[in-house]
Structure 1
C-alpha cells in the first residue's frame, strides 16, 4: 500500500514531488506520514497550516483500500522509481516524478523516441508527424508524445497505423480524456500502448501542469523530434528540456512563409539536427535503412491516377477527386482504402487524404 499512500499524499493541494520526498524521508515511509498525528505533522515543519488542514481533511474522507480497488477496476496502476516498470531513462533526469500512473503498459526495453509539435499545425506538419512516426514504429521504435491536438495526435495515429504501441504522457489524471476530442484515441492508446501521468487519477488539466509533463516526454526518450512549432510553442520547452538532459534534438524544416515553422527553424539555427526524411532519422538512431518506399509498380492505372492527384502537404477531399477524375465516389473510396493499406496515403482526420512522405519531406 506504500504506493497508494504516496499517491494519496500527492492529491493534497500543495503537496508535490518535493514535499512528498521530504515527508517520506522524515517519517520513513508514506503510510506512516499519512497516518501521523496532527502534532507530529506540525513538528516535522514540512507542511504549512493550509496544507496540513488539507491533509487532515483528505484523510477523513479517503480510504486507501477503496482507492486501490477503484484504480484496479479502472485498469490504473501506479509505480515508483524503485519499480522495474519505471522508465529507466526517466530515472536519470534532474527531477524525476516520484510516482507514475499507467493505463496500459510500456514494453520493457522499449526504445522510446518523442515526436512533438504545435497544436495549431498545418496539414504538412501532420502528414510529416504521421509518416515519420509510422515508419519509426515499423522499425521497433516506441513513439512518445503528449496527446494534444495537432502534431501530437498525428504522431500517435502514425504509430497506431503501424500496429505498434505508443505512449501518451498527460498533464492530468490518466482517467481524464483531455483534450476531449481525443477520448477515443486515448482509449486506443491505452489498449495498445500506454497512457502515463505523474498526476493522481482525478487530477483535472491545469496550464502549469503541461510544461512539467513535457519533462517526462523528453526524459523517457532517447531523442526528440520537433515537427512543427511556432516561436512560442510548448514543443520548444520539450526540446530545451531534452537538451538539458543530454538528449538529441531533431527538427523538420518547413516553409519560410509559415509561422508554424519559425520555432523549428530557430532550433535548427541553434544546432538541432535537420531531418528531411524518416530514413535520415532512423539512421541517426542507429538503424540500417535501405531507403526503399512503397512501390507503385503494382498499382492499377486508376489507382495511379488517384495517387497522382493527391498532395504530400495538403489533404485532398473525396469530392475533389470525384470532380477531377470523373469517377464514382464509391470506386474512389475503394481505391483510397487500398492505397491506405499499402502505405501510399493516410487519412487526414475528416478533411481528406494525403500522400505519405517518402524519400524526403
Structure 2
C-alpha cells in the first residue's frame, strides 16, 4: 500500500473533535456515575452528529473519530464506539423495519445499543457459543405466514452497556454441533420477556454486565442477516471495529506522550530538566516512534477495509494488536517518568493507566489477534504455493 498521509481537511476535523471532546463532552463525562450508562453524554454525541456518522462513514473516518475523542475524553470515545458496535449489525444486516425503528434512535442518542457475543465459557473462542436458540414446538414454531420462532436460553457475560442497554445484538446457536456455521444473530429488545441482567463490578467507567436468557422469544423478524450465518455478522463487525480499537489506543498513547513531553520539559531534576537526561530523552523518542508506527498501521488497516482489500482480517488484527500493546507500554512508561504524581486520583495518567488495559482483551485478546495473523499468513502462503507462477 502507498505511504499514508491525511488530507488537510481530515487533520482540521480531528482538531475540531479534540476541542469538542474537551469542551462539551468531558464535562458530561465527569458528571457520569461509574458503572452506569451516561445517557446525557450519549445524547450530546447525538446532537453533535457523531452517532449518525457511524453509519455513513468508512473505517478510516471511524478511526479518526475514535482517536480524536480518546485523546480528550475516553468516556466519550467508548460511548460512541459501543453505540457503533451494538448497532452496526442492524445497519449492515437488518431488515428495513429494524433499521427504521432503531437506527434513528441510536443516531440521536435516545437508544443505547450493545453487542452480546461473549459468554462465560466462550470469550475469545467465539465459535464455541452455547446460548441456544431452540425452535418452538410445532405448531408454535411458525406463524400462519410461516415465520420461524425460537426461544433463547443461556447466558452472555462481559457485555458492555449491559444490563442498561435498550437493545442487544445477540449471537445464539441455532444448529448444534455446527461450530461457527450454526450461529444466528438476533436483534433483541431489552424488554423482551425472559431477558434479565446483572451488573458486574469491573474496572470500567461504563457498565459491563451479564445477561440471562430464560426462554426469550424471538422470531424471523428479529434475525439479523441469515439463519446460521450470524458468525459472519459478528466477524464482519469486528473486522471494521478492530482497527478502530487500535485508534482508541493510539489516542490514549498520544495523550500520554504529550503529557510526558510537557512534564519532562519543565520538571527540575539532577541540576537540570528531565529532558536533558539522555535516558529520559531516549525513552520519550521511543514512545513517539512506537505511537506513530501504531497510528500508521491503524490507518493502513482502515484504508484497506474501505478499499475492499482481501487481507482485511490480517490487517485489522495487526492494527489492534500493535496499537493496544503499544499504548500499554507508552502509558506505563509515561507513569514511570512522571513518578508518584501520576498515580494520584484524578491525574490524566492515573485515568489512562486504568483505561488502557481493557483494549488488549476485548474484541479478541492479543493472543487471538496473533492467531488470526498466523492463520491468514499461512493461508496466503498456501495460495502462493499452489500458484504456477511461484518460483518462475
- Normalising by the residue count of structure 1, what TM-score does the alignment of the two structures yield? 0.23
How high is the TM-score relative to the length of structure 2? 0.22
